[in-house]
Structure 1
């Protein structure tokens, strides 16, 4: 029995695939350019590139932007390619002072910042009166019982690996608020920080994490700061290349 389990482990290790996701071309093109034995596939609206990256079997996926695309793309990728690890990566906005342009962060906690409830009001609107709602993060457990999650997390072992490998890059942990929004209102950024203790915002991680959690696949959120409205640093998507270069080296550790 032990020999059988060892063989299964070795086979799984040899044929394990890492799914690496990015929403925009600028967030995946460097990864795709470095693939060996590349094979392109399109399923629905989502592009996939299979091949070897630094000696590892990977699938690079362009998910398109937003929570719905991220969730749908992740589910399709899992059913089609059966990855052992999922890395959702790309650009993100810093929403606090001190988180500099080009800083790489690990999404330790991931919130759906577009999920909220309000009190009844017939004639007024109070954006700051919104309260977080857990409903959209609902899943069923192994006994088909409703499981309501306040947030999702990156896999503990993957976080540890990324922090260890990323020491010389000064990689740090972060709390991410995901929503279908690109916010430049400083009061709203302060609200996100206060409500979720978030220091980063973006548009995909929590949705991909939710699907990965449902399938019980280890998940890692990696983001690079492409702007910081609090410090008046405007958005520059080209910084996404730096994160992909980091990932190309990092996959060798997985």
Structure 2
């Protein structure tokens, strides 16, 4: 009786061991497969007009949603590409970027869309490659008492990443620039001759949750930060991408330019996506050749 019981126990143990090994092998295969899969390139656009045109150019698209964010997962030249509709503003863009990185582990992020011109030498339909991107809304005011008024021209840039100290830390009184990734910039410059609706130049992209229509204020920002254009997302995306060590580049087209009378043209959104499409194809060829 005892022998039968021991044989039964041994048989169950043997089966369990086989199943455990099989499960481990299965998990190892899943991990190996995940590790060997190419990491996607992410293209961000704040509004539908700035994202859906590109998404329509992908193959085998599957749509995923998380909160208010929409992810169009597809392929371009047999390589995984994800278009993210982030929503407008710094907070939306930062949250969408962190979520994208955690969920999809991208190899690179391109934040693109429309922008307002700060440089009078740039016209509507010109494109700025973000050699630098900076937060133009992080400012410290001068010290004024009640009834002394306000003077925005005396405000100074505040680098929130300078230290973990208080806002009174003098080391934070500076502009922080996020550099565009060199490989992404190289890909963008390599195909700039394919764009025929305006110039493609390297410059500085400024971001903040405001819309400037005061020419003197635009000039002030342009002088303090060296901005080529302004928009509402790029710097927050660059900040999160840097935190995760993910290559980043901003690509922005001028939809208007108050400094030289350039009026708004909604066609700029699709024109920029056409150009970014060529940039992504070039970057994919660079990735595949490595």
Q: 2:269 aligns with which of 236, 240, 243?
A: 240
* 1:154 corresponding residue in structure 2: 180
* 2:139 corresponding residue in structure 1: 116
**For residues 205 and 163 of structure 2, what CA distance do their matches in structure 1 show?**
20
* 1:209 corresponding residue in structure 2: 238
Bigger radius of gyration: 2
Q: Does 1:199 align with 2:222?
A: no
Structure 1: any 5+ residue segments left out of the alignment?
1-10, 141-146
* 1:252 corresponding residue in structure 2: 281
* 2:158 corresponding residue in structure 1: 133
Task: Report SS of the residue matched to 2:267.
Answer: helix
Displacement over 6 Å in runs of 4+: none
* 2:13 corresponding residue in structure 1: none
Deviation at 1:168, TM superposition (A): 4.2
Over aligned residue pairs, what C-alpha RMSD do you find? 1.9
CA contact (8 A) 2:205 2:250 kept: no
TM-score (norm 1): 0.88
**For residues 220 and 199 of structure 1, what CA distance do their matches in structure 2 show?**
15
- In structure 2, the CA distance between the partners of 1:78 and 1:138, relative to structure 1 (3 Å rule), is farther
- In structure 2, the CA distance between the partners of 1:27 and 1:128, relative to structure 1 (3 Å rule), is same
* 1:35 corresponding residue in structure 2: 58
Deviation at 1:237, TM superposition (A): 2.8
Comparing 43-52 with 157-166, greater Cα deviation is found at 157-166
Deviation at 1:14, TM superposition (A): 5.5
TM-score (norm 2): 0.77
Q: 2:207 aligns with which of 166, 169, 178?
A: 178
* 1:143 corresponding residue in structure 2: none
Q: 2:97 aligns with which of 67, 74, 94?
A: 74
**For residues 120 and 44 of structure 1, what CA distance do their matches in structure 2 show?**
40
Q: Does 1:164 align with 2:193?
A: no
- In structure 2, the CA distance between the partners of 1:139 and 1:248, relative to structure 1 (3 Å rule), is farther
**For residues 263 and 99 of structure 2, what CA distance do their matches in structure 1 show?**
34
**For residues 211 and 139 of structure 1, what CA distance do their matches in structure 2 show?**
16
> Which is richer in strand?
1
Structure 2: any 5+ residue segments left out of the alignment?
1-33, 165-170, 284-290
State the Cα deviation string for residues 11-46 of structure 1 (Å, max 9, x = none): 978612001000000001111111211111111110
Deviation at 1:127, TM superposition (A): 1.1
Aligned length: 237
**For residues 266 and 122 of structure 2, what CA distance do their matches in structure 1 show?**
16
* 1:49 corresponding residue in structure 2: 72
State the Cα deviation string for residues 171-196 of structure 1 (Å, max 9, x = none): 21011111101111000000111100
